Structure 1
Amino acid sequence: MSKRNVIFQPVAELKKQTDFEHRIPKEQWWLKLRPLMKIMAKYKASYDVSDSGQLEHIQPWSI
């Protein structure tokens, strides 16, 4: 899917866009939404919205 559309593309093109070591796309547009999700979830976080584009490790919930 790309911009709400299902598109077909050659595997060679897909290979350029994929981080195979981590099994994720190289461009992760949804990381820009993380600050907004934390605000909406009332998560204790700083509200700096700089776009660093780095992944955070997720800790499992304690029950």
Structure 2
Amino acid sequence: MKEEGFRQLFTTFGALTDCSLKFTKDGKFRKFGFIGFKSEEEAQAALNHFNKSFIDTSRIT
């Protein structure tokens, strides 16, 4: 997964303050990341939509 694709999944719910995918030192995706929203309401809307769904093989919680 690329960060831009990850970011695009969440921007429909509001303004992002942070977007970060985590990789090992050798560049392998660790299958998790973080998203920050400008407001709690936007974050809750994204969570309500994506909670317990999957991106590739990673579960969103």
**TM tier, shorter chain?**
under 0.3
Q: So what's the TM-score if we normalise by structure 2?
A: 0.25
Report the TM-score when normalising by structure 1. 0.25
Higher helix share: 2
Structure whose alpha-carbon radius of gyration is higher: 1
Greater relative contact order (Cα 8 A, min sep 6): structure 1 or 2?
2
